[in-house]
Structure 1
Amino acid sequence: MKPTIFITGASSGIGQATALYFAAKEWNVVATMRQPEKQNVLKNSDQILVLPLDVEKPDTFAEIIDTAIAKFGKIDVLFNNAGYGQHGLFEATTAEQIQRQFSINLFGTMEITRALLPHFRKQKSGNIITVTSGVGRVTVPLVSVYAASKFALEGFLESLSFELGAQNIKVKIIEPGSINTNFEQTTKANFASDESLTDYKDYLQKMDEVFKGIYSGATASVDDVAATIFKAATDETDTLRYIIGTDLQPLIDIRNGGTDENYMNTLKGIFG
């Protein structure tokens, strides 16, 4: 029986690229997304099952998982990819925007993971792979709420890895740096701003130029991420974190290997 991966947020970007990559490797793929009717790349076939799933609606998960298992017999890997980035000034970010950020990035991931655990325990194996972000380890300005959700995910998954290890279920974290996706455009559309906060005007203009340079210098593609996810699914190791992109590793090395003062001074040199 072919192995099966269950993907959330498969409509575009990393999720869609991962679905195509695993299908090319002869895996069965359950590609879930909020609006499958808008999907024009992934199609239902003997190997790919496209299903509607909104991670903010956990009461629908059991039926969707049962449908996937009925199609392919089992699920071997859960790939938590659904999420979005709430960027902008914290002072301009509303309580509703903060709640939605955590509802999707953290609570949605927790609930779909919880929903699949009984299946993994029953078959005495499974692999939970989750995309966090470089800003789940190294923060930058104007992403305080997004970074908070990713830091929370990192803590949740690291702790979870110990208790699920006792059940022969692996936990893997994917940490992309700057990636060539439509993420920049998406976050700009969600950018929290307030024209009355004029004190930040000069800083926002400066950061706009800094981030243009970061995005234009992206060192990895969605296909690179998909290949790393496949490695995490198949390498049979207990490796917890997989870092993607040459821009991220040096900053993590500074954080892990030096003093907090040196780490903060390095980032202030870029964003101060």
Structure 2
Amino acid sequence: MNKTVLITGTSRGIGYITAKLFAENGWNVVATMRNTDSKNNLNNYKNIFVTTLDITQPETIAQSINQGIERFGKIDVLINNAAFGQFGLFEATTVKQIEEQFQVNVFGTMHVTQAILPHFRKNKQGTIINISSAAGRIGMPMVSLYSSSKFAIEGFSESLYYELISQNIKVKLIEPGGVDTTFHKTAEEKFAFNEDLADYNNFTQKFLQKFEKMHDGIATPEQVANLIYNAAIDDTDNLRYIVGNDATTWIGARTTLKEFDYIAYMKNLYEV
């Protein structure tokens, strides 16, 4: 029997490319998204089942998992991909923006994970792959909400990794830096701005100019999808997988430099 993967957030970007990659390698794919009217071609694949799943709506999570099991017999791998980035000065963000960032990126991931665990325990195996970010390992200005949500995913996944070893269930983290998708366009559209916070203008202008140059060597969605696929099939107990030259550099600095040297390095990088 072919293996089956359930992927959240497959309407575009990394989720869409990953769904196609698994299907083209013979997997059954439960491709979930908030709006199944999305104009992509996933419905054209015989081994892809497209269904509605909003990770902020628990009833759609249970429904999608049950539909996937009914369609393909079982689910072997869960890929928690659905997320978005809330960028901007923290002081400029609203309570609604703060709560929405965590509702989607953190609580949504937790809800989907918790919903699939009984199925994995019944099968005495399974793999959970959480799409994190280099921003989940290093703090960056202007992305405090997104970064903190991914820090939460890192801590959640690492803790869960040890718990689920007892159930023969693997947990893996994918840590991209910048990725050439519409993610940053969406982040720009949601960018938190408050014209009354003029005290930050000098810092903001300098950082944004620097930020534009910090993404040389960013990963393509195909590179991220390939790493996700390899993580699903490599049969190792590896927890973290880094992709992208920028992510490799930043995380390398975080893990090799002493604290004082690392902070000095990042302050210089950000020109603060």
TM-score, length-normalised on structure 1?
0.97
What is the identity, as a one-letter code, of the residue corresponding to 1:256?
T
What is the identity, as a one-letter code, of the residue corresponding to 1:229?
I
Secondary structure at the counterpart of residue 213 of structure 2:
helix
Structure-2 residue corresponding to 1:236 = 235
Structure-1 residue corresponding to 2:10 = 10
| CA deviation profile, 1:179-223 (whole Å, cap 9, x unmatched) | 1111211110010010011111122111221122224x2431000
Whether 2:73 is the aligned partner of 1:92: answer no
Structure-1 residue corresponding to 2:253 = 254
Whether 2:113 is the aligned partner of 1:113: answer yes
Runs of 4+ in 1 over 4 A off after TM superposition: none
Structure-2 residue corresponding to 1:60 = 60
- In the aligned structure 2, how far is the partner of 1:201 from the partner of 1:258? 31
Equivalent pair of 2:36/2:52 in contact (CA under 8 Å): yes
Whether 2:186 is the aligned partner of 1:186: answer yes
Equivalent pair of 2:87/2:191 in contact (CA under 8 Å): yes
| Number of aligned positions between the proteins | 271
Structure-1 residue corresponding to 2:127 = 127
CA drift of 1:133 comes to 0.5
Secondary structure at the counterpart of residue 130 of structure 1:
strand
Equivalent pair of 2:32/2:64 in contact (CA under 8 Å): no
Runs (5+) with no aligned partner, structure 1: none
- In the aligned structure 2, how far is the partner of 1:170 from the partner of 1:40? 31
CA drift of 1:260 comes to 0.7
Secondary structure at the counterpart of residue 98 of structure 1:
helix
Task: Point out the more displaced range, 176-185 or 153-162.
Answer: 176-185
What is the identity, as a one-letter code, of the residue corresponding to 2:108?
G
Secondary structure at the counterpart of residue 6 of structure 1:
strand
- In the aligned structure 1, how far is the partner of 2:139 from the partner of 2:181? 20
Secondary structure at the counterpart of residue 225 of structure 2:
helix
Structure-2 residue corresponding to 1:224 = 223
- In the aligned structure 1, how far is the partner of 2:82 from the partner of 2:162? 24
Whether 2:162 is the aligned partner of 1:162: answer yes
- In the aligned structure 2, how far is the partner of 1:186 from the partner of 1:93? 16
CA drift of 1:259 comes to 1.0
| CA deviation profile, 1:223-265 (whole Å, cap 9, x unmatched) | 0001000111000000000000112222222222221111111
Q: Identity rate of aligned residues, in percent?
A: 49
Secondary structure at the counterpart of residue 253 of structure 2:
helix
Task: Point out the more displaced range, 5-14 or 42-51.
Answer: 42-51
Question: Where do residues 62-77 of structure 1 align in structure 2 (5 Å cutoff)?
Answer: 62-77=62-77
Aligned-pair RMSD on alpha carbons?
Answer: 1.1
Equivalent pair of 2:52/2:60 in contact (CA under 8 Å): no
